[in-house]
Amino acid sequence: MNTYRLDVLQQPLLLRYMQLPHFLALYIARGQEIVGEILLAGEGASAKILGLYVMPNYRRLGLGKSLIAAGMNALRERGVSHFEGDVIRRNLPQCALAASCSATFVRTACLYPGINYD
């Protein structure tokens, strides 16, 4: 894939997420090629989408939404009822995907001093 793949997560951070009760990693493949992946983690009734990636040639086919739905359904069976995910508001494809999943905008975060991703 590329540098935005989920394997760019630092090993200690990934190990910490893997210790949470609701850790889940899913992928979609075409033949031997992984074309999309999602990572969710949480505890109690809450979980967060930590990463979602779909290869450029496979975008706008519903794969991202399918990964989100599959992850949410699997975690619902474990008692999760609240899901969160971070979206960069200037990234229109991310916003469209969030809207298609009936997401509710909650807050704006400033990730770097002086740079507002609003």
How far is residue 54's CA from residue 63's CA, in Å, rounded to a whole number?
A: 7
27 or 11, greater pLDDT: 27
What local confidence, expressed as pLDDT, does residue 86 receive? 86
Over residues 1-12, the pLDDT tens digits come to 344 555 556 778
Q: Report which of 29, 30, 32, 94 is spatially closest to residue 65, judged by C-alpha positions.
A: 94
Average pLDDT score over residue span 29-55: 93
Contact at 8 Å (CB) between 52 and 71? no
Fold (CATH) for 6-85: Aminopeptidase (3.40.630)
pLDDT exceeds cutoff 90 at 111: no
Residues contacting 49, CB < 8 A, separation 6+: 38, 39, 40, 68, 71, 83, 84, 85, 86
What local confidence, expressed as pLDDT, does residue 9 receive? 64
pTM across the whole model: 0.80
pLDDT exceeds cutoff 90 at 92: no
Could you say which DSSP state residue 48 is in?
Answer: E
What local confidence, expressed as pLDDT, does residue 66 receive? 96
What local confidence, expressed as pLDDT, does residue 44 receive? 94
Indicate the average pLDDT of the chain. Answer: 84
What local confidence, expressed as pLDDT, does residue 47 receive? 95
Average pLDDT score over residue span 61-74: 95
Domain boundaries of the chain, sorted by first residue: 6-85, 87-118
